[in-house]
Amino acid sequence: MTARILDGKALAARRRTALAQQVAALPFRPGLRVVRVGDDPASGVYVRNKDRAAREAGLDSETIHLPEATTEAELLAVVHRLNEDPAVDGILVQLPLPPQIRQDAVLDAVDPAKDVDGFHPVNGGALLAGRPGLVPCTPRGVMLLLEEAGVSPRGARAVVLGRSTIVGRPMSLLLLNADATVTTAHSRTRDLAAECRRAEILVCAVGRAELVRGDWVAPGAIVIDVGINRGADGRLVGDVAFAEASAHAGAITPVPGGVGPMTIACLLENTVQAALARRAG
Ligand code: NDP
């Protein structure tokens, strides 16, 4: 079997075009503010990509770049100012933050109605309760990729590798809310390979280059690779050994060009969702 490739880049491009049309028809411009603290080069690339994509979609986007030595109180003051600013619909604080700043204190300070990353406990609680809210971008993007591929989670055995608050946990909840039977695996899981082999839908969000081997993948399984890692030769690779897994899977996302572009598309969609919800109520 040779797996079908799930092209996240193409799907994200289509969704961004549709969103730009929706935004152009609005009587206002949804506002996104990305806050970056310090000079981490990887964060710089992510922030620039988000800002460019937001502008292309017609959003009013701005990056606020603060120095590495910014204190927690100074960052909280910026977040509070953005919470109060009526022109701002979405606030994203780029992670990681420098060590003098407590990440939780900052994420908790963002107005849940403007929390387009979906990391505020109020939005996490809504997801847990199966209520509407702002959903973290990467797992939301995975659900859209599954939908596009015609894969229904209902009744399916899904295995999620990873339990971070950013990807793994919300991913498991979204699949559960979509009626999958979900196993969440992590670094303490015994016999990871056996757990993976039971999956009809396998989502890998671990951050270990090519951890998941071909013989961990059940015949015909849908494999979604969230991981972004540098391989030994410097190439970007996922958590899944792509060539090996493709020989077993029914469908698989590539790295790059799979989940990554969907994350950005969903950030833009969350911003428009937040803008419409704030004005509705
Ligand atoms: P974290 O480091 O926060 O979480 C990793 C998870 O994987 C943890 O739950 C950890 O278990 C588990 N884990 C680590 N090692 C193993 C192992 N050997 N076997 C089984 N489980 C293991 O990472 P993130 O969730 O933030 O990100 C995961 C990956 O996804 C990274 O490569 C990241 O770059 C990528 N990513 C990609 C995005 C995209 O847009 N495509 C967006 C966000 C992330 P435990 O809890 O026990 O420690």
Q: Map out the domains of the chain with their CATH numbers.
A: 29-114 (3.40.50.10860), 136-260 (3.40.50.720)
| DSSP H or E segment with residue 164 | none
DSSP state string for 8-30: HHHHHHHHHHHHHHHHHTSSS--
Cβ–Cβ under 8 Å, residues 130 and 177:
yes
- Looking at the annotation, which residues are catalytic? 50, 94, 117
pLDDT band at 89 (very low <50, low <70, confident <90, very high): very high
* Averaged pLDDT for residues 162-188: 98
CA 142/CA 272 separation, integer angstroms = 19
Angle between helices 168-177 and 121-129 (to 10 degrees): 30
Q: What does the pLDDT look like over 60-85, one tens digit per residue?
A: 999 999 999 999 999 999 999 999 99
Tens of pLDDT, residues 214-226: 999 999 999 999 9
pLDDT at site 1: 67
Q: Which atom of ligand 1 is nearest to the CA of 239?
A: 32
CA of 1 to the centre of ligand 1 (A): 28
How many angstroms separate the CA atoms of 12 and 262, rounded?
5
Q: Is the pLDDT of residue 281 over 80?
A: no
According to the model, what pLDDT value does residue 232 have? 84
- Residue 222 main-chain phi, psi, to 5 deg: -95, 120
Ligand 1 pocket, Cβ-based, cut-off 6 angstroms? 138, 161-164, 166-168, 186-189, 192, 205-208, 211, 226-229, 259-260, 263
Q: Are 249 and 197 in contact (CB under 8 A)?
A: no
Vertex 121 angle, CA 116 and 124, to 5°? 70
Place of tokens 């959003």: 59
Q: Which pLDDT belongs to residue 213?
A: 98
H helix or E strand, kind and range, residue 277: helix 259-280
DSSP letters for 89-107: -EEEEPSPPPTTS-HHHHH
Structure tokens at 108: 């908790």
